[in-house]
Amino acid sequence: MAASVRDEGIVCRRVDYAEADRILTLFTRDGGKVGAIARGARTSRSHLGPALDLFARCALQVAPGRGHLVVITQAERLSRPWPEADLTRTACAAVAVGTADALQEGLAIPALYDRLASALAGMGDPQGDPRAELAWFALEAAALLGYQPALERCAGCDGPLVDGDAAFAPDRGGVLQGRCAELDPGAVPCHAVTLRLLRRMADGDRRLFDRVRWSDGLRDELERLLIAHLAYHLDRPLRAAALLHGLGGWVPPAQAAGGAGTR
Ligand SMILES: [Zn+2]
């Protein structure tokens, strides 16, 4: 690596190290996943500590270090403080950064970085629906990484998919229908409404997606199959996903306050 460089990065993981340091796993825009050390980050005088919170997006100055860790010399936080007490938001963010963390070191994918930054901003927004944000990100990430699921033709026999109930098999590459679905014991349910939504999402129709009236069944099914798909192709379990199903559904603020909830 050349001398000191500027980049932008998202904190995927961090652990305390030695007396006052932190070791971080960052997903950077121009450098991909990197290991980094923030010396003295746990001292009260350090500017690095507060900037480099988990899930934070930061403008960084990094210098080569000894071994494989780069040294963070400056960090300026660009994202708002994370709502740590909100377990649903935190679990969604953990799944999203887990996707970047599963990539090989040094593989820069600026478009994925931008999508992850946007997804985390939405998940951390008190008005935002973190689970919808995660589902949207999961499909975008799959497409950017080359694993866009088959949604128009059966992943088993390549026959056209009809508007009806189906199944989803990550190892086959997408949606199965009819005999192909029946004969695959590993496939998970993908009901007609879920398939329709997946197709609109694949078209990039975010305005429509933001107006979806979620049922618990639709949300859970969409989330399960997209996360299973991503985890299969990343060859890594996205463990934080297991938390989501124990946390129940996200309720829009209007509904939580007893309003009509006409999203
Ligand atoms: Zn088929």
Listed by start position, the domains of the chain span: 5-77, 87-249
Confidence of residue 252 (pLDDT cuts 50, 70, 90): very low
- Number of neighbouring beta carbons within 10 Å of residue 146: 7
Q: What is the pLDDT of residues 94-117, one digit of tens each?
A: 999 999 999 999 999 999 999 999
Q: 163 alpha carbon to ligand 1 midpoint, in Å?
A: 14
The pLDDT value recorded for residue 243 is 77
Confidence of residue 211 (pLDDT cuts 50, 70, 90): very high
Kindly report the length of the chain.
263
Residue 247 pLDDT? 60
pLDDT, one tens digit per residue, over 184-210 is 998 999 999 999 999 999 999 999 999
Cα 136 to middle of ligand 1, angstroms: 26
Distance 157 CA to ligand 1 centre (A): 4
- Domain 5-77 and domain 87-249, same fold? Reply is no
Query: How far is ligand 1, taken at its centre, from the CA of residue 181, in Å?
Result: 7
CA of 177 from ligand 1 middle (Å) equals 5
Cα–ligand 1 centroid distance for 104 (angstroms)? 34
Give residue 202 CA to ligand 1 midpoint distance, Å.
20
Would you tell me which CATH number, out of the four given (3.55.40.20, 3.30.499.10, 2.40.240.20, 1.20.1440.120), belongs to the domain 87-249? Answer: 1.20.1440.120
pLDDT tens-digit profile of 31-78? 999 999 999 999 999 999 989 999 999 999 999 988 889 999 999 999
Asked if residue 166 lies in contact with residue 175, where contact means CB atoms within 8 angstroms, the answer is: yes
What is the pLDDT at residue 237? 81
Which residues are CB-neighbours of 121 under 8 A, at least 6 positions away?
57, 79, 80
May I ask the CATH class of domain 5-77?
Answer: mainly beta
> d(Cα 91, Cα 72) in Å, to the nearest integer?
27
CA 199–ligand 1 middle distance (angstroms):
17
Looking at residue 2, its pLDDT comes to 57
Per-residue pLDDT averaged across 244-260, rounded?
50
* Prediction pTM value: 0.90
Report whether pLDDT(12) > 90.
yes
CA dihedral 201, 203, 205, 208 (to 10 degrees): -60
At 256, list the tokens.
């939580």
Residue 167 has pLDDT above 50, yes or no: yes
The pLDDT value recorded for residue 262 is 35
Q: What does pLDDT average to over the chain?
A: 91
3-class SS of residue 201: helix
- Alpha carbon of 197 to ligand 1 centroid (Å): 20
For the chain, state the CA radius of gyration.
Answer: 20
CA of 261 to the centre of ligand 1 (A): 39
